[in-house]
Amino acid sequence: MTDMVLVTGISGFIGGHIAAELLRRGYAVRGSVRSRSRIGEVHAAMAAAGVDTAKLEICRLDLLSDQGWAEAVDGCRYVLHVASPFVLAKPKDPDELIRPAVEGATRAVGAALDGGVERVVMTSALATMQFARAPKGHIYTDADWTDPNDPRLNAYTISKVKAERAARELVEQRGVPDRLAAINPGAVIGPLLTNDPGTSVTAIQQIMSGALPMIPDLRLPWVDVRDVADAHIAAMTSASAAGRRTIIATDPMSLIEVARVIRERLPEASRKMPARAMPTWFTWLASGFEPQLRENRWLIGQKQRLDRTTAETLLGHPLRSIPDAIEQTARSLTGLVQLWVTGSVTRPGEPVWS
């Protein structure tokens, strides 16, 4: 029999790539969406990926409701919990992000354990490790934990930390810690499957569309979405992933360097890009007035080092080239940028850097 895999959040950037790769490998996929109105997007994404959807089915799940979870995991051998709330603008109430992230994680893991699923792979984030207090020169590993009470953190990062902690506490309470694996990606980019870019792609989107007067010296730990998808699938069966957290990201590259790659490889797509780079000192100064910069101040000029050996061991190969991923992201976005210019598609409201 074909193994069935539940992929929550299948309409998202990461979820879509995971589902497409699972279908390519012969798995049956049950994908969840919050609203049935997004089913068409899922099928469009799979068509863009060139995969056969004969083994794909869609169900509706809400992170804040128990309804449907038992049925969704029924017959599944694995669960990949990818769904997580995200908003472009900072919410007035942090619980708008934190509560559904935590409750969604516990619902997904709890339902999976109750249904006898062999392993749950949870999409967490590098942010759950990346902002742990550490001395200069520290190499961040899966042993690092971001303190959710750190006043530097935004609601999104807090939601990720608390959700992963809640999932881990649940499997430990049940006495089955090895049935959970966490994948902790950095800023995920790569080819788009739909017109809905991933959250990290928005940074590149804003640069290409000319929405920013200068390019700030924010440094992000990029990773190709296809590596993220492959890591989730490998973690379903790998003994080395059992009970582990896996950093999957490269050492940070600045948005200034990202822009340089786009100019060199796709000059025709860089006409609206700002010509000037924002110096580090000016980025710090501007962060006192610009909410998005202020909220992500710790990314300014940072030179963090990350241990990605666990990810590369899990994948069986080095992480994909980030310049190549930037180029492919930019190529995917080129059509969208043109649509924003003509007004055919609504331009995203605010820059998002995390």
The residues that are catalytic are 160
Structure tokens at 274: 């700002």
Structure tokens at 264: 């060199």
Please give the Cα distance from 31 to 268 (Å, whole number): 37
Q: Is residue 237 exposed (0-12), middle (13-18) or buried (19+ Cβ within 10 Å)?
A: middle
Closest by Cα among 237, 224, 231, 211 to 348: 211
Backbone angles phi, psi at 100, to 5 degrees: -65, -30
Whether 171 and 113 have beta carbons less than 8 Å apart is answered as yes
C-alpha separations of 159 from 33, 197, 335 in Å? 20, 21, 33
Please give the Cα distance from 38 to 35 (Å, whole number): 6
Pairing state of beta strands 119-123 and 28-33? unpaired
